[in-house]
Amino acid sequence: MYRGRSAKIIAVVLASFICATLLAPGLVAGDDDKDDRAKILQDRLRVLRSVPYTMVTEEEVAPEKVGVVLHSRAKAYQGYNIYCDRLTSSVVLMDMEGNAVHTWTYPDDKPRHWDHAIMLPGGDVVVIRKFYDVLRLDWDSNLIWRSEIDSHHELTPLPDRSVLVAARELHTHRRLRVRFPAIVRLDETGREIGRWSAYDHLDEIKRTFDQRSFIDAILDSLLAERIDPETWEPLTALAESAKAEIDAWPLRYDQFHLNTISIIPETPVGRADRRFETGNMLICFRNINQIAVLAGDTGEVLWVWGEGDLEWPHHPTVVESGNILIFDNGTRRKYSRVIELNPLTEEIEWEYLGEPPGSFFTPAKGSSQRLPNGNTLICEGDGGRCFEITRDGEIVWEWYNPAFRGNYRVQIYRMIRIDPEIVEPLL
């Protein structure tokens, strides 16, 4: 992880580069455009490189905007909010007024990135220390178990007390070092008891998904651009640099970038269509702009949607009606939105945008949670801001992370609202 002001600038430059090339324009026909096509394809390949996340806001922010700045008690859903504090390596449980009512910590031999945490019944938390391990701590922060796993982004509890964890696998694929996602199942002692690997399902995924952003399609296009179909000779010096790009072994590419695993509950949609029945998994592959449903028992890909409609999405979840709530970052268009998709018709039935749209924008993080009263809790992660809106888009609760590094607000990955009936007996 890069540290300090210079590191932040490097990360911002990388993020800006990704924004500019994430959805590169289509290829234009004609011999005169071969060099341009090769450059576009190289840019698409670079988009899949693994790059560091930023930790703080890109620009300095007003320090007076801290904590809860708006709370409509009559309209907001009253509960407790849980999130990870990256500066102090802790999990924070916060009330609706912004007060920390409980924290979980664990001693680190060196600073770790606490990515995401969930609270289990009884007050235990399961925590991802990103790309390092998974911890389960009791209410008093005593270690119950630790599992060394290349984990990141997501934890999903199952009824049998096991937990699904998003993880990474590094494979050599067509002479490139590519990180493929995995879904790892840990039992109640932290022991691995199951694994779904995207690499093992690659042929199936390629038959099912839109392949415009697939690394294989990009590599095949690069190969085609390097060779004149009539003479079988390299076309240009730029084509030779494309070969160097492919042969650059130290680079690691992030083909899919799994950031969500959720279990589909029982809904009217699931009763009407077995693809969306309870127990199946809803996942999100950010780097190819796709969400997908996997069969809960076999991991078979049952349904996909998103490419051409989403830009670096996060946190799809199934709501009570059976529709899918999606945080759509809009990394290239420069504004974010939250949408509710009917998976049967694939039509957007509800959408939230900022006013103006650019006032709500987080290019690389974010989440949305449908609350029991019909409101939606939104995490604008890159800005360190969370807010709750009604169905009509009225903001009824708003919070800014009070943690700063200098004049830069610390970002958060996700915030989750918890029912007070679960929390208050513990307090």
Q: 341-395: per-residue pLDDT in tens?
A: 999 999 999 999 999 999 999 998 999 999 999 999 999 999 999 999 999 999 9
- Of 204, 333, 319, 189, nearest to 265 by C-alpha is 319
Mode of pairing for the β-strands spanning 408-409 and 337-342: unpaired
Q: Cα dihedral angle (387, 393, 394, 398), rounded to 10 degrees?
A: 10
Residue pair 84/119 in contact (Cβ under 8 Å)? The answer is no
Q: Cα dihedral angle (319, 258, 108, 63), rounded to 10 degrees?
A: -60
Q: Please give the Cα distance from 336 to 363 (Å, whole number).
A: 8
Tell me what pLDDT residue 16 has.
Answer: 36
- Which residue's structure tokens are 């799809």? 316
Tell me what pLDDT residue 221 has.
Answer: 67
Residue 53 DSSP symbol: P
Residue pair 87/410 in contact (Cβ under 8 Å)? The answer is yes
Residue pair 209/288 in contact (Cβ under 8 Å)? The answer is yes
- Which residue's structure tokens are 């696998």? 169
Three state DSSP letters for 287-332: HHCEEEEECCCCCCEEEEECECCECCCEEEEECCCCCEEEEECCCC
Mode of pairing for the β-strands spanning 314-318 and 301-305: unpaired
Residue pair 274/35 in contact (Cβ under 8 Å)? The answer is no
Name, in order, each residue with C-beta under 8 angstroms of 378's C-beta and a sequence gap of 6 or more: 327, 338, 352, 366, 367, 368, 386, 387, 388, 389
Residue pair 57/66 in contact (Cβ under 8 Å)? The answer is no
Q: Please give the Cα distance from 123 to 127 (Å, whole number).
A: 13
Q: Please give the Cα distance from 122 to 426 (Å, whole number).
A: 7
Q: Which residues of the chain have pLDDT under 50?
A: 1-32, 227-232, 234-239, 249
Residue 192 DSSP symbol: E
Q: Residues in the chain, how many?
A: 427
- Of 394, 387, 274, nearest to 322 by C-alpha is 274
Residue pair 409/376 in contact (Cβ under 8 Å)? The answer is no
Q: Please give the Cα distance from 349 to 100 (Å, whole number).
A: 36
Tell me what pLDDT residue 109 has.
Answer: 79
Q: Hey, how many other C-beta atoms are within 10 angstroms of the C-beta on 347?
A: 10
Q: State whether residue 422 is helix, strand or coil.
A: helix
The structure tokens listed for 58 are: 């890109």
Q: Which domains are seen in the chain, by residue range?
A: 4-423 (2.120.10.30)
Q: Please give the Cα distance from 46 to 423 (Å, whole number).
A: 45
Rg (CA), the chain: 22
Tell me what pLDDT residue 344 has.
Answer: 97
